[in-house]
Amino acid sequence: MAVVLVDQDGVLAGFEQGLFGAFKAKHPNGPVVAVADRRGFYAREHYEKLGPEWGKAVDAIIRTEGFYRNLDPVDGALTALEEMRQAGHHVLFDAPYNQGQPGPRLSARADWREVLEPVLAGQQRPNTAVPD
């Protein structure tokens, strides 16, 4: 059995495609940057270079309730998660996909060692996205 840490954006969920679509829908005349043309990690920073109002527009979109929940899964991601679960691996997420599930939460501010050590030592069952 292995413990597998899985990222959300670009691994499970198509963040870039979701942002692109939402931005085009909300700002049809805005300076939309195609997914293939975007550079850098933070979309907000890329759009801010086109004007400060566009960085704020990106923030507004990604902070909209349901934005992350409604992202389409990356091709093959759900199958891979199911295969890991069936193989007996514990799957941990760095995003709140497991809300409502018991167990530790990982976040950008979490002390990863404090969260992972009890799981790795077998003292605590980690969250899983796919119910048993």
The number of C-alpha atoms within 13 Å of 89 and in the hemisphere containing its C-beta is: 16
pTM for the structure as a whole: 0.66
Q: Where in the sequence is the domain holding 57, given as residue range(s)? A: 15-62
Report yes or no on 126 lying in a domain. no
101: confidence class by pLDDT, cuts 50, 70, 90: very low
9-37 mean pLDDT? 88
The number of C-alpha atoms within 13 Å of 31 and in the hemisphere containing its C-beta is: 14
Report yes or no on 84 lying in a domain. yes
Report the number of distinct structural domains present in the chain: 2
Do 83 and 114 lie in one domain? The reply is yes
Residues 25-42: tens digit of each pLDDT = 999 999 978 778 877 778
Which residues are catalytically annotated?
7, 9
Do 22 and 50 lie in one domain? The reply is yes
Q: Is the pLDDT of residue 98 over 50?
A: no
Do 113 and 78 lie in one domain? The reply is yes
Residues 47-95: tens digit of each pLDDT = 998 999 999 999 999 989 888 888 899 999 889 988 988 998 888 776 5
| pLDDT of 130 | 35
Report yes or no on 56 lying in a domain. yes
Do 79 and 102 lie in one domain? The reply is yes
